[in-house]
């Protein structure tokens, strides 16, 4: 895999003190400045998991694994060539983790092809309980970057992780195209809602100052829901992307929702 500049960090490497301690234990060979934060980012259709035992961490350590409708929050790090070598050592590339390419959305709304680490598939277990100190290190790292550790804590406890979204927003112009994939209960569960966006001729959302009218479909089964709708949204000439945004329902409540947008756009604040 070619060297890349940006690394998507989601676990202990978000904690500058933990990273600094690891580097300090290798004086003269490990400079903590070889990795610097760039900004928050989101890895869609993945979830956090504690899937491998680490003797050094005295329990399970973090991993990302695919799961439709979910998302992992983290931080993009600029990494020097020397930094990649250090990260490979720290992550145990070859026996514990491996580098993989992923596409994330940065805080400016751009989709970026970057690199992250995941547990080697042959090493991954469904759930390995982590030590509370390691969970604290990761949670503190998330908080220091302004990110919510709720999904981390779900994963640590072995609970089903709450989704990054509470449902799906469907603009009025797309409702006819997508409703054939919905069951009767889902059609009846939709409530009127708006999103701060404009609607493209294709029916998908795009950035704008208007209020796009549509329906919010609350769902506790987003993995199944997006599995049915993604093929429809991705089969037309525009091949819509799915992104997170905040919608407002008729009673004034706000909710996070997945929505189909034109590729390379972002709608949220």
Alpha-carbon Rg for the chain in angstroms: 20
DSSP string, 36-100: EEEEEEEEEEEEEEEEEEETTTTEEEEEEEEEEEEEEEEEEEEE-HHHHHHHHHHHTBTTTEEEE
What is the number of domains present in the chain? 2
Range from 23-32, 46-55, 217-226 that averages highest in pLDDT = 46-55
Is pLDDT at 268 greater than 60 in this prediction?
A: no
**One domain for residues 36 and 115:** yes
Distance (Å, whole) CA 50 – CA 105:
23
**One domain for residues 12 and 93:** yes
**One domain for residues 227 and 134:** no
> Among residues of the chain, what percentage have pLDDT more than 90?
69
Is pLDDT at 269 greater than 80 in this prediction?
A: no
Is pLDDT at 42 greater than 90 in this prediction?
A: yes
Range from 46-55, 101-110, 244-253 that averages highest in pLDDT = 46-55
CATH, residue 221: 3.10.490.10
Lowest mean pLDDT among 13-27, 48-62, 253-267: 253-267
Last residue of a domain, one of 157, 192, 216: 157
Range from 107-111, 186-190, 200-204 that averages highest in pLDDT = 186-190
- Which tens digit of pLDDT belongs to each residue from 49-106? 999 999 999 999 999 999 999 999 999 999 999 999 999 999 999 999 999 999 998 8
Q: Would you say residue 142 lies in a domain?
A: yes
DSSP string, 164-227: S-SEEEEEHHHHHHHGGGS-HHHHHH-EEEEEEEEE-TTS-EEEEEEEEEEEEEE-S-HHHHHH
Average confidence (pLDDT) over 205-224: 87
**One domain for residues 141 and 78:** yes
State which residues form the domain around 210.
Answer: 167-261
Q: What is the pLDDT of residue 74?
A: 98
Q: Token pair of 215, please?
A: 């329906």
Distance (Å, whole) CA 226 – CA 5:
32
Q: Would you say residue 268 lies in a domain?
A: no
**One domain for residues 139 and 198:** no
Q: Would you say residue 162 lies in a domain?
A: no
pLDDT class of 154 with cuts at 50, 70, 90: very high
Classify 116 as helix, strand or coil. Answer: strand
Q: What is the pLDDT of residue 211?
A: 87
Last residue of a domain, one of 127, 157, 187: 157
Q: What is the pLDDT of residue 257?
A: 93
Q: How far is CA 267 from CA 62, 154, 156, 179, in A?
A: 30, 28, 31, 23
Q: Within 13 A of 179's CA, how many CA atoms are on the CB side?
A: 15
pLDDT class of 135 with cuts at 50, 70, 90: very high
Angle at 47 between CA 42 and CA 50, to 5 degrees: 125
112 versus 137: which is more confidently predicted? 137
Q: How far is CA 5 from CA 11, 31, 82, 116, in A?
A: 19, 17, 11, 11
Last residue of a domain, one of 157, 185, 219: 157
Q: Would you say residue 134 lies in a domain?
A: yes
Q: What is the pLDDT of residue 207?
A: 65
Query: What are the beta bridge partners of residue 70?
Result: none
Is pLDDT at 20 greater than 60 in this prediction?
A: yes
Q: Would you say residue 56 lies in a domain?
A: yes
Whether 223 and 70 have beta carbons less than 8 Å apart is answered as: yes
**One domain for residues 214 and 242:** yes
Going by C-beta distance under 8 Å and a sequence separation of 6 or more, which residues neighbour residue 38?
Answer: 6, 75, 76, 77, 78, 106
Q: What is the pLDDT of residue 2?
A: 42
Q: In whole numbers, what is the pLDDT of the chain averaged over residues?
A: 90
């Amino acid at each position: 895999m070619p060297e890349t500049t940006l690394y998507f960090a989601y676990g202990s490497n978000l904690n500058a003190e933990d990273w600094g301690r690891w580097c300090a234990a290798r004086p003269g060979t490990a400079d903590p400045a070889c990795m610097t934060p760039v900004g928050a980012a989101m890895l869609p259709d993945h979830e956090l998991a504690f899937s491998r035992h680490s003797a050094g961490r005295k329990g399970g350590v973090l991993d990302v694994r695919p799961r439709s409708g979910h998302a992992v929050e983290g931080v993009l790090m600029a990494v020097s060539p020397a930094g990649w070598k250090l990260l490979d050592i720290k992550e145990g590339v070859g026996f514990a983790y491996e580098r993989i390419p992923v596409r994330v959305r940065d805080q400016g709304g751009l989709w970026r092809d970057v690199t992250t680490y995941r547990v080697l598939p042959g090493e991954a277990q469904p759930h390995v309980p982590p030590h509370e100190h390691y969970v604290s290190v990761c949670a503190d790292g998330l908080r220091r970057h302004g990110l919510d550790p709720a999904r981390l804590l779900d994963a640590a406890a072995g609970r089903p992780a709450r989704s990054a979204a509470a449902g799906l927003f469907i603009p009025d112009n797309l409702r006819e195209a997508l409703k054939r994939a919905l069951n009767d209960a889902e059609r009846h569960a939709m409530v009127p809602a708006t999103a701060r966006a404009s609607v493209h001729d294709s029916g998908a959302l795009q950035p704008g100052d208007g209020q796009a009218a549509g329906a919010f479909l609350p769902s506790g089964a987003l993995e199944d829901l997006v599995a049915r709708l993604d093929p429809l949204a991705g089969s037309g000439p525009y091949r819509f992307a799915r992104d997170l945004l905040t919608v407002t329902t008729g009673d004034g409540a706000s909710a996070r929702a997945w929505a189909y947008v034109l590729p390379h756009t972002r709608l949220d604040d």
